[in-house]
Structure 1
Amino acid sequence: MPSSVIPPVPHYESAPVTTEHLEYADLAVIDISQANSAEGRAQLALKVRDAMSTNGFFYVVGHGYSSDQMKRMFDIADVPFSRVNDEEKQKYVAQTKQTGSYQGYKLRQYWHIDGGVRDQIENYNINHDVTRRTHPEAVRPLLPEISQLAFHSHMNVLHPILRLLALGLELPEDTLVNLHKWESQSETYVRFMKYYPRHSEDEEKTNGVWLKGHTDFGTISILYSQPVAALQILTRDSEWKWVEHIENAIVVNAGDAMEFLSGGYYRATIHRVVQPPPDQRQYTRLGIFYFCMTDDDVRLVPLVASPLLQRVGFKRWFEKDEDAPLMSEWRKARTSAYGQTALLKSNTEARIEEEVINGVIVKHYN
């Protein structure tokens, strides 16, 4: 039988792991391979429930992709940035503000950060159905591997996590899986994201913040760990702590939609991106993400059938369920507004800026 030929791509050389002393967040490590049995899921569900109801972040290991496979995927992730010229990139720019979709490129200087400083971040976004739209020429031969990554992330990472979260709420374990079908219409997508070093003047104006503290708008965010330290989470003690790199691990956090569905029990954690430590500042920071959302037609209301929520109580953002947004509505509103709208200072805390989206106050932390 003829062997399949893997398209060659240039190797992306990532930064060495920082040797700086940083105050890291104490996050749980979940070996997802243990979720293959009912007994393993029952044990992991308690750990995941604790992680999601406290920090809102945890690590996943045992996810089924080897270190060599992930090195290959990071090489692929750099292709939309290093192997596509500016003229071709313009042809595939996402019409984010008009459509509320990130599909395609978000080029540098689109988002306003602070003090007149705009971002130095490029990302390329690909729907989990990679055939949804066309792609730059250099990306096309790599679509089978990107599609495989999306499918793997969905079925072997997202779905096991959703089963554990459902069990944590004492619901049937497929409750959340049934809201995140692979074949359904949704905006769940792969993101390749590249951060470029900034001028010292911009660092001073923004106090070293590259992305303000924010919550993600989906249900679950999956980040394949990479070595450049920059991601920080806001703990319940109101302290910013770094997220440490673990080789071939995944960093998982909850977003707004999961907080809505869980009645506030699973927190959408506030996180930000800041200037890396001194020994990594000359490097670019390349990331691979899988941003997950429910099917478009799911209404974001609390899962009130949960025995746990009935015991401990839950929050409603809307008096009537029919007033709550559909996933598609929430996603479009949050996406089109991010980095483009004027934020108002909070009346309660100086570092918080706010905007109102679909009747919900969305906070940003500078």
Structure 2
Amino acid sequence: MPAPTIPPCARFTPAPPTTEKLDWAPLPVIDFSEAATPEGLARIAPQVCSAMRTYGFLYIVNHGYTNVQNQRIFDIADAMFTKVPDDEKKRLVADFEMTGSYRGYKARQTWDISNGVRDQIEQYNLHRAVTDPELQEHPRAMEPFLPELRAFTEHNHYNVMHPLLRVLAQGMELPDETFVRLHNFDGPADTSGTFSPLSQCDAPVDDTLHSPRDEIVRYENRMIFAHHSLVMLGSYPRSAEEETQTNNVWMKGHTDIGTITILWSQPVAGLQILCPDGKWRWVRHIDNALTVNIGDGMEFLSGGYYKATIHRVRQPPVDQAGYARLGVFYFGMADDDVLLRPRMESPILQRVGVAPRFDFAHAPTMKQYRTGLTSAYGVSKLSKRDDGHEEEVIHGVVVKHFN
């Protein structure tokens, strides 16, 4: 049988890695070849759970994609921005303020960063199903690559996120499938329609049911993300005046909305995390590695046992100035109707207690929190705090933005 024909795609040439001596975060590197068996999962569980309780970040290697497959995904991600005409991008722009979904393109100059400076991030979000035309229309130039992107989302979901969810459940002495069953892939999942925060908040929710969430992949600075969706996102250089006005910060310190974020490592340094000692440190690039972090959704479900780490994006080092950052992300979220309250059946939580960020008696669903924060991010008026940071309240949850 002849091999399937792979559609041609121009080769993306990434920037060279920085040679500057940066203060790198000491994150553990997890060999994910161990994740293929229950015995292997048990061996990596202590290291994974320890990292997610301290830094909330870790690296994964040997995740099942080769260097060639990795390069191909970044080639496709680059084409999402360079091979699609501007008029088609404008037609496919997401109305995130109305729908609470980034599905489609987000143009630059959309979010307010600081002192009137707006972002230089262009992104494209794909629903996790990718190839279903009823869920999302894609640019014509990208149609030949949709089967590959669908396979890529499934790899992130089943081969990376699900094993991690099993490990996190083990760390809380819960059955392995506790969190997996809250993260379904198949089923009706068009959750990006117009929404009413008040009516959603008042609606009764049965958290024994778990319908699929809105999953996205993005490309940043051209990056790709997916929360049960794939996102491609690109970040572009700014003027010297803009850098001064924002103190070199491209995206304020924040925590992610969902449960697990998978970032496919790229060489332009910019990502920093706030370490337990209160210092910002850089996240290192490792060829064909994944950088994985915990988001708010998992912090809420674990009662604060696992930490949603504060991270930001800032101006790259001098030897990478002028390069755009092309990113590929998979953003994992619990099913839309899952209540974001702690799994109190955990023997761990029964022993150590919970660290609540809001009143769990009035916990929002994943959809309420996702759509509320998505529609507000970068466009809502934030309240200033005494420490100089900012905050807003999303469905009873205080969301902080770290300047």
Q: Please give the range of the TM-score, normalised by the shorter of the 2 chains.
A: over 0.9
Residue deviations 1:242-283, cap 9 Å, x none? 000011000000111100000011111000000000010111
In the alignment, the residues of structure 1 paired with residue 322 and residue 401 of structure 2 have an alpha-carbon distance, to the nearest angstrom, of 28
Asked if 2 retains the 8 angstrom alpha-carbon contact of 1:125 and 1:191, the reply is yes
TM-superposed deviation, 1:312: 1.0
In the alignment, the residues of structure 1 paired with residue 360 and residue 311 of structure 2 have an alpha-carbon distance, to the nearest angstrom, of 30
- Counterpart in 1 of 2:247? 207
Is 1:298 the equivalent of 2:338?
A: yes
- Counterpart in 1 of 2:153? 150
In the alignment, the residues of structure 2 paired with residue 319 and residue 200 of structure 1 have an alpha-carbon distance, to the nearest angstrom, of 44
Question: Could you tell me which amino acid in structure 2 is paired with residue 332 of structure 1?
Answer: T
Secondary structure class of the residue paired with 1:139: helix
Superposed, 1:69-84 pairs within 5 Å as 69-84=69-84
Asked if 1 retains the 8 angstrom alpha-carbon contact of 2:359 and 2:396, the reply is no
Unaligned runs of 5+ in 2: 188-211, 216-228
Is 1:284 the equivalent of 2:324?
A: yes
TM-superposed deviation, 1:36: 2.2
Q: What is the TM-score when the length of structure 2 is the normalising length?
A: 0.88
- Counterpart in 1 of 2:238? 198
Secondary structure class of the residue paired with 2:305: coil
Superposed, 1:109-148 pairs within 5 Å as 109-130=109-130, 131=132, 132-148=135-151
Is 1:52 the equivalent of 2:40?
A: no
Secondary structure class of the residue paired with 2:45: helix
Aligned match of 1:186 in 193, 197, 213? 213
Asked if 1 retains the 8 angstrom alpha-carbon contact of 2:45 and 2:168, the reply is yes
TM-superposed deviation, 1:317: 4.5
- Counterpart in 2 of 1:354? 391
In the alignment, the residues of structure 2 paired with residue 304 and residue 145 of structure 1 have an alpha-carbon distance, to the nearest angstrom, of 40
- Counterpart in 2 of 1:40? 40
Secondary structure class of the residue paired with 2:293: strand
Between stretches 306-315 and 90-99, larger displacement belongs to: 306-315
In the alignment, the residues of structure 2 paired with residue 266 and residue 318 of structure 1 have an alpha-carbon distance, to the nearest angstrom, of 16
Identity %: 54
Asked if 2 retains the 8 angstrom alpha-carbon contact of 1:180 and 1:294, the reply is yes
Asked if 1 retains the 8 angstrom alpha-carbon contact of 2:341 and 2:360, the reply is no
- Counterpart in 1 of 2:285? 245
Superposed, 1:275-354 pairs within 5 Å as 275-319=315-359, 321=361, 323-347=362-386, 349-350=387-388, 352-354=389-391
TM-superposed deviation, 1:194: 0.6
Question: Could you tell me which amino acid in structure 2 is paired with residue 20 of structure 1?
Answer: E
Secondary structure class of the residue paired with 1:138: helix
In the alignment, the residues of structure 2 paired with residue 187 and residue 238 of structure 1 have an alpha-carbon distance, to the nearest angstrom, of 33
In the alignment, the residues of structure 2 paired with residue 150 and residue 320 of structure 1 have an alpha-carbon distance, to the nearest angstrom, of 32
Asked if 2 retains the 8 angstrom alpha-carbon contact of 1:301 and 1:316, the reply is no
Is 1:268 the equivalent of 2:308?
A: yes
In the alignment, the residues of structure 2 paired with residue 136 and residue 327 of structure 1 have an alpha-carbon distance, to the nearest angstrom, of 29
Residue deviations 1:276-299, cap 9 Å, x none? 000101111100000010111111
Unaligned runs of 5+ in 1: none
Between stretches 180-189 and 333-342, larger displacement belongs to: 180-189
Asked if 2 retains the 8 angstrom alpha-carbon contact of 1:32 and 1:160, the reply is no
Secondary structure class of the residue paired with 2:98: helix
Question: Could you tell me which amino acid in structure 2 is paired with residue 301 of structure 1?
Answer: R
In the alignment, the residues of structure 2 paired with residue 354 and residue 58 of structure 1 have an alpha-carbon distance, to the nearest angstrom, of 27
TM-superposed deviation, 1:35: 1.9
Question: Could you tell me which amino acid in structure 2 is paired with residue 136 of structure 1?
Answer: P
In the alignment, the residues of structure 1 paired with residue 399 and residue 335 of structure 2 have an alpha-carbon distance, to the nearest angstrom, of 22
Asked if 2 retains the 8 angstrom alpha-carbon contact of 1:57 and 1:253, the reply is yes
Asked if 2 retains the 8 angstrom alpha-carbon contact of 1:225 and 1:247, the reply is yes
Asked if 2 retains the 8 angstrom alpha-carbon contact of 1:12 and 1:78, the reply is yes
TM-superposed deviation, 1:11: 1.1
- Counterpart in 1 of 2:298? 258
Change in Cα spacing, 1:224 to 1:320, as seen in structure 2 (3 Å) is closer
Q: What is the TM-score when the length of structure 1 is the normalising length?
A: 0.97
In the alignment, the residues of structure 2 paired with residue 242 and residue 44 of structure 1 have an alpha-carbon distance, to the nearest angstrom, of 24
After superposing on structure 2, the runs of 4+ consecutive aligned residues of structure 1 that deviate more than 3 Å are 316-321
Asked if 2 retains the 8 angstrom alpha-carbon contact of 1:121 and 1:196, the reply is yes
In the alignment, the residues of structure 2 paired with residue 320 and residue 47 of structure 1 have an alpha-carbon distance, to the nearest angstrom, of 29
